[in-house]
Chains A and B, each alone.
Chain A
Amino acid sequence: MSFDSSAYLVFFVLVLAVYWTIPQRFQNYFLILASFFFYGFVHPWFLLPFFATTLIDYFVANRIECATTGRRKLVVISVCANLGLLAIFKYFHFFLENTAAVLDLLHIHVPMPVLRIILPAGISFYTFQSIGYVVDVYRGHVRACRHLRDYALFVAFFPQLVAGPIQRAGDLLAQIQRPRRLQPAAAYDAAFLLLWGFFKKLVIADNVAVIADKVFALRSPSFPILWTGVLAFAIQIYTDFSGYTDIARACARLLGFEITRNFNHPYLANSPSDFWRRWHISLSTWIRDYLYIPLGGSRISGCREILNIFIVFFLVGLWHGAAWNFVLWGVYYAVLTMLYRVAARLFPQTWSHIPGSNVLCVLVMFIFTNIGWLIFREHDIAQLGRDLILSPTAAPATDWFFARYLAAIVFLYSLPLGFHLWWDIARKNNAGAKERWLPWIALAQSGVAILLFFGILVLRSDAPGEFIYFQF
């Protein structure tokens, strides 16, 4: 069930009404049932790998806590089982395809089995969440969950099940295990966040997607047209994914839960590391805590550090999809991160004294981010190669002119993001605002809410698309 469908709206209103009406002791049971219904709504068989992950990790984690020996083996069992499921559903076809290609190169023709497996939505998200829980229990950061009910809800919690944010057991599981209350202020914030999330998805993402799709459908776009399409995609993917996260956070908040923020104005990043601190925060912190630091992090020798960065970003790329462009995208960030680190070591503190240097760094990083999005979006590697060597001087004048028009459309649709940034900064700066301003802020927020809702009604795209991160 997709967040932007009328079915979800009806589902969520009913869930909300029943959830806050029934006694607290039944709330978790009810949320599990609702989550299963949500997840199995279109393909009930999606629940099978999901049940497997839940049951394996529930029992393994409890066993780890009781065991005095062989704890590491249990973690390995859990990780292998989870990654095995992920490998079967997400990477098996990719593996076969590439094996066949390599064998073909060696003139060995082996007929490969053809398996058409639909990728269960959100499998990469809940698999990582579940692995994180087992590792946390192993490390002693959290206690193993005694109730299968609570653990099942931790994995299945529908607002964040399909596209994250990836939750930590210490955070979400703890909230599941205690009674929840809804305060009017939290409900008000949640309602606003819900509107903003829908606006980002339905108005900004779906409308700029039309431009990105058109440009990426071209056989041989010129330099200005291609990069305007990439810019449109940059806005699309950010508003699509962060819109989803906002809706997820708002729905969770209305159910009395607080889930982590996944974005922090990523296009204001001034370096690759900063970008990953702002983009898909739950994934990057997961990778940092469960992969990068265990590998030694940055406190090791130069070569090992480079290798670690390479491994981490390779896996980040592969996590996004079983295709070479995603792998390349990961490798691109690995190279970029390494280059930035080398530059930082060669020229420490050189730039920071120059006025406006941060703005310049943000602009440069934004350009690098867009190169990354081109790699991410272009599935045809041969085409990608052609795109990357396009010359700006070879483009006809009409294409530059037309690209300006497309960029102007993207700019107009993206204007609310600018207002949101300003709002966010103003709110942070005035965190301690005197109480007398609060009613006016609330009034202004209501006015903005009316505009957002009206915007959704009249400006939403005629061609709504699926959330991009649903495919991962």
Chain B
Amino acid sequence: MSEQPAFLSAKGWLGLIVSVVVVLAVPALLRSGDLVRYPFDEAPLRALQASHPDCVLVGDSMLRTRIDPARLNEIADRRCDVLGYPGTATAVWYLIVKNIIARLSPPPHWTIILFRDRQLTLPAMRTEGRYKNGLEPFMLGREPEFQETLEKAQRRRLPVFERLSLFIYPAQKHRYERSEDLHERALNLVSNSATKPLLRDAAKELFDLNNLRNNAAPAASGNNDEREPVSADDATFAASVNGSFLPMILDTAERRHIKLLFFRVKHRPPANAPFVEEEPGARRYQRDLQTYLTKRGAVLFDENREADITLPFYGEGDHVTDTMMRPYTELFWKKIRPLLSNSTAGNSPAEAP
């Protein structure tokens, strides 16, 4: 092998080092700022302004598959509206409380939030990737306070290496948007504004769960993401509450004199038991949550050990089947009606049968 003269080699190494530094440094300087692509969706606000509800229910698919709004308004002694958005979690619920419910005049007396597990203190849950699109229609402008809480929570979830990488290359924050842009370009290549909706409908129909093979359906249903692993930091209530949206929801409601009821829905019970037996850590968490909410003037109802919600109520995962929505709504109203009359009530997980 022919040897290079030492000075040439030194020049070569210097060139290499400069090149590597430039390649690594330039992307660090590229920032795409805050990309908010979807404007605030006024429709739910207008609908609530028109109906003047006394009670608004907020939640994800657990609410959407459980509560039949028509039946609820038939049996309830007050006007109740339902804002159930599948695939959402506390980040969206906070925005709904702040940007929709708290802006109503007069505001409703009650807001009921249906949740599962430790959802209330997992602020980053369902906020990244495809879930990002679900956040923006509830954001009014840039929402700096919200963004700060969210970004802190998202960073906390990442391993140290990825956190560092995100810090150096902030453009990575908008990966999902970039991928959507590329898909949009592909869409523009093959369709025009008239045919785009057709294409979206075709996609929904084609990849409907019923069209998938049996082994692919559970993964595609998205019903598994709820049970995401909880880090040690998020496992205890005391450690996770301050970085979450829960205090912000409570503060917002308090400012507008809206009472809050947090309704923890029951998990699908196993075939051989009336309910899922929770591990001690989860029970401790629920007790701490109860204490905290009571102190803040809110109410917690834990349905997990309620014997009337049995296995036949359940369809896919923790969702309630369509046919059981009406009876579930009736049982739900029966349980919460006394709580709405007496705001200091609630059922303590520790005291539950």
Q: Which of A184, A409, A453 contacts B24 (CB 8 A)?
A: A453
B12 touches A408 (CB 8 A): no
CB distance from B173 to the nearest CB of A (A): 9
Report the nearest A residue to B13, measured CB to CB.
A184
CB distance from A182 to the nearest CB of B (A): 10
> What per-residue 1/0 map shows which CB atoms of A389-432 lie under 8 Å from chain B?
00000000011011011001101110000000000000000000
The CA-CA distance from A405 to B216 in the complex, in Å, is 22
Asked whether any CB of chain A lies closer than 8 Å to the CB of B271, the reply is no
Asked whether any CB of chain B lies closer than 8 Å to the CB of A139, the reply is no
Asked whether any CB of chain B lies closer than 8 Å to the CB of A147, the reply is no
Are A459 and B213 also in contact (CB < 8 A) when A401-B198, A402-B203 are?
Answer: no
The CA-CA distance from A181 to B174 in the complex, in Å, is 41
The CA-CA distance from A453 to B190 in the complex, in Å, is 29
Interface residues of A in 30-82 (CB under 8 A from B): none
What chain A residues lie within 8 Å of B212 (beta carbons)? 217-219
Q: Which of A6, A188, A225 contacts B206 (CB 8 A)?
A: A225
The CA-CA distance from A449 to B22 in the complex, in Å, is 10
Asked whether any CB of chain B lies closer than 8 Å to the CB of A185, the reply is yes
The CA-CA distance from A116 to B176 in the complex, in Å, is 38
What chain B residues lie within 8 Å of A398 (beta carbons)? 198, 202, 205
Are A458 and B216 also in contact (CB < 8 A) when A188-B19, A404-B190 are?
Answer: no
Q: Which of B12, B23, B182 contacts A412 (CB 8 A)?
A: B182
Interface residues of B in 10-28 (CB under 8 A from A): 12-13, 15-16, 19-20, 22-24, 26-27
What chain B residues lie within 8 Å of A301 (beta carbons)? none
CB distance from B8 to the nearest CB of A (A): 9
Asked whether any CB of chain A lies closer than 8 Å to the CB of B161, the reply is yes
We find that the number of chain B residues with CB closer than 8 angstroms to chain A is 48
What chain B residues lie within 8 Å of A181 (beta carbons)? 1
CB distance from B259 to the nearest CB of A (A): 39
What chain B residues lie within 8 Å of A458 (beta carbons)? 171-172, 174-175, 178
B182 touches A459 (CB 8 A): yes
CB distance from A299 to the nearest CB of B (A): 38
Report the nearest B residue to A448, measured CB to CB.
B23
Asked whether any CB of chain B lies closer than 8 Å to the CB of A242, the reply is no
Are A184 and B189 also in contact (CB < 8 A) when A217-B213, A450-B26, A459-B179 are?
Answer: no
What chain B residues lie within 8 Å of A412 (beta carbons)? 182, 185-186, 189
B30 touches A454 (CB 8 A): yes
What chain B residues lie within 8 Å of A21 (beta carbons)? none
Asked whether any CB of chain A lies closer than 8 Å to the CB of B33, the reply is no
Report the nearest A residue to B206, measured CB to CB.
A402
Main secondary structure of the interface of A (DSSP, over half): helix
Report the nearest A residue to B10, measured CB to CB.
A184
Report the nearest B residue to A6, measured CB to CB.
B161
Q: Which of A184, A453, A460 contacts B15 (CB 8 A)?
A: A184
Asked whether any CB of chain B lies closer than 8 Å to the CB of A14, the reply is no
Are A405 and B213 also in contact (CB < 8 A) when A6-B159, A184-B9 are?
Answer: no
B171 touches A454 (CB 8 A): yes
B206 touches A462 (CB 8 A): no
What chain A residues lie within 8 Å of B4 (beta carbons)? 183
Asked whether any CB of chain A lies closer than 8 Å to the CB of B211, the reply is yes
Asked whether any CB of chain A lies closer than 8 Å to the CB of B44, the reply is no
The CA-CA distance from A214 to B219 in the complex, in Å, is 11
CB distance from A197 to the nearest CB of B (A): 15
Asked whether any CB of chain A lies closer than 8 Å to the CB of B199, the reply is yes
Most B CB within 10 A of own CB, among A225, A453, A458: A458
CB distance from A456 to the nearest CB of B (A): 9
Asked whether any CB of chain B lies closer than 8 Å to the CB of A10, the reply is yes
Asked whether any CB of chain A lies closer than 8 Å to the CB of B183, the reply is yes
Are A446 and B175 also in contact (CB < 8 A) when A401-B195, A413-B182 are?
Answer: no
The CA-CA distance from A404 to B202 in the complex, in Å, is 12
Report the nearest A residue to B22, measured CB to CB.
A446
Report the nearest B residue to A217, measured CB to CB.
B216
Are A399 and B206 also in contact (CB < 8 A) when A446-B23, A454-B27 are?
Answer: yes
What chain B residues lie within 8 Å of A413 (beta carbons)? 182
Are A207 and B22 also in contact (CB < 8 A) when A405-B190, A454-B27 are?
Answer: no
Report the nearest A residue to B23, measured CB to CB.
A449
B169 touches A457 (CB 8 A): yes
A191 touches B189 (CB 8 A): no
CB distance from B253 to the nearest CB of A (A): 34
CB distance from A447 to the nearest CB of B (A): 9
The CA-CA distance from A405 to B172 in the complex, in Å, is 26
A207 touches B179 (CB 8 A): yes
Asked whether any CB of chain B lies closer than 8 Å to the CB of A172, the reply is no
Most A CB within 10 A of own CB, among B13, B202, B216: B202
CB distance from A83 to the nearest CB of B (A): 32
The CA-CA distance from A404 to B178 in the complex, in Å, is 21
CB distance from B65 to the nearest CB of A (A): 24
Asked whether any CB of chain A lies closer than 8 Å to the CB of B129, the reply is yes
Asked whether any CB of chain B lies closer than 8 Å to the CB of A187, the reply is yes
The CA-CA distance from A185 to B15 in the complex, in Å, is 10
Asked whether any CB of chain A lies closer than 8 Å to the CB of B47, the reply is no
Report the nearest A residue to B177, measured CB to CB.
A458
What chain A residues lie within 8 Å of B171 (beta carbons)? 454, 457-458
> What per-residue 1/0 map shows which CB atoms of B210-243 lie under 8 Å from chain A?
0111001000100000000000000000000000
Interface residues of B in 96-120 (CB under 8 A from A): none
The CA-CA distance from A220 to B171 in the complex, in Å, is 40
CB distance from B95 to the nearest CB of A (A): 23
Asked whether any CB of chain A lies closer than 8 Å to the CB of B207, the reply is yes
Asked whether any CB of chain A lies closer than 8 Å to the CB of B347, the reply is no
The CA-CA distance from A460 to B165 in the complex, in Å, is 14
The CA-CA distance from A113 to B30 in the complex, in Å, is 59
What chain B residues lie within 8 Å of A214 (beta carbons)? 207
A188 touches B220 (CB 8 A): no
The CA-CA distance from A35 to B216 in the complex, in Å, is 36
What chain B residues lie within 8 Å of A187 (beta carbons)? 16
**Interface CB pairs A-B, < 8 A, 20:** A183-B4, A188-B15, A188-B19, A191-B19, A191-B20, A218-B211, A401-B191, A401-B202, A405-B190, A405-B203, A411-B186, A442-B15, A450-B23, A450-B27, A457-B171, A458-B172, A458-B174, A458-B178, A462-B176, A462-B179
Known: A399-B202, A412-B186, A453-B23. 18 other contacts (CB 8 A): A6-B161, A9-B161, A181-B1, A184-B9, A188-B16, A214-B207, A218-B213, A398-B198, A401-B191, A402-B202, A405-B199, A408-B186, A408-B190, A442-B15, A450-B26, A453-B27, A457-B27, A458-B172
Nearest 5 pairs between A and B by C-beta? A184-B12, A217-B216, A408-B186, A6-B161, A409-B186
